[in-house]
Amino acid sequence: MEPFFISYMVIWILTCLVAIGAFALSPESFSFSRPEYRRFMFVPWKLTTFAVATIGFTFIAPYTGDPTWDHIDGFFMSTLTFLSAPWVVGTLYLTIRRRLPLRDLYVALCLWMFSASWSYDLYLVLRDGHYPETWLSNLCASSVIYFAAGLLWNLDWRINRGVTFSFLESDWPSVPPTVTFARLFWYALPFMLIVTAAILYFVVPNPFD
């Protein structure tokens, strides 16, 4: 492995260890570890859209023509995105508004990078024995999907306010008052189209190759 990739891998492993340490010192202060977050995520429409997206990535991955994608990384990256992206996006907003400490921002950014990039890199290093040449392009494409997914699964509907994002509410993360996807569909559609376009980007052959 080239020295650059060895150094990069050491840096991000140490970065993740620091994040794990920050979480271990006070796990109860991170909302994603609480039962409320699980109830917030495990509602029918979120589980359904997660299942559809995961099936798309997992089963289409080996047929994309990209040797770095297979059933395994398609599945675990989809799962990591579902479990972490809504919390990460909400945490980014709340730290910008100075309603959460910078410690939460650090952990959120590490979760983003691990879910969208570093887990993919590590898997391919273990599978192929070298750092993937596609690490940077994957980071860019997966980050777009990750952010879109975080917004999608934060969509909410509130009485007298209509459709909003859950992290704009003082009780975030909490179970939304409604789980009727029909109220959210047209607002969710742009985010779902972004994910669909990303899947097609990998599936449809490049005519210039």
Task: Give a yes or no: residue 67 inside a domain.
Answer: yes
Task: Give a yes or no: residue 209 inside a domain.
Answer: no
User: Could you tell me the pLDDT band of residue 177, with boundaries at 50, 70 and 90?
Assistant: low
Using a pLDDT cut of 70, give the percent of the chain over it.
90
Q: Is the pLDDT of residue 193 over 90?
A: no
Q: What is the pLDDT of residue 58?
A: 81
Total count of domains within the chain: 1
Q: What is the pLDDT of residue 209?
A: 47
User: Could you tell me the pLDDT band of residue 167, with boundaries at 50, 70 and 90?
Assistant: very high
Q: Are 40 and 169 in contact (CB under 8 A)?
A: no
Task: Give a yes or no: residue 39 inside a domain.
Answer: yes
199 to 56, 64, 69, 97, 193: CA distances (angstroms): 7, 9, 11, 33, 10
Residue found under tokens 């983003």: 112
Task: Give a yes or no: residue 208 inside a domain.
Answer: no
Q: What is the pLDDT of residue 202?
A: 58
Residue 15 in tokens? 């970065």
Q: What is the pLDDT of residue 114?
A: 98
Task: Give a yes or no: residue 146 inside a domain.
Answer: yes
Q: Is the pLDDT of residue 203 over 90?
A: no
Q: What is the pLDDT of residue 197?
A: 76
In 3D space, the residue among 81, 88, 80 whose CA is nearest the CA of residue 108 turns out to be 88
Residue 155 is part of which domain span? Answer: 3-25+35-203
Confidence (pTM): 0.90
pLDDT (average), residues 131-147:
92
Q: Is the pLDDT of residue 173 over 70?
A: yes
Burial class of residue 21, CB neighbours in 10 A (0-12, 13-18, 19+)? exposed
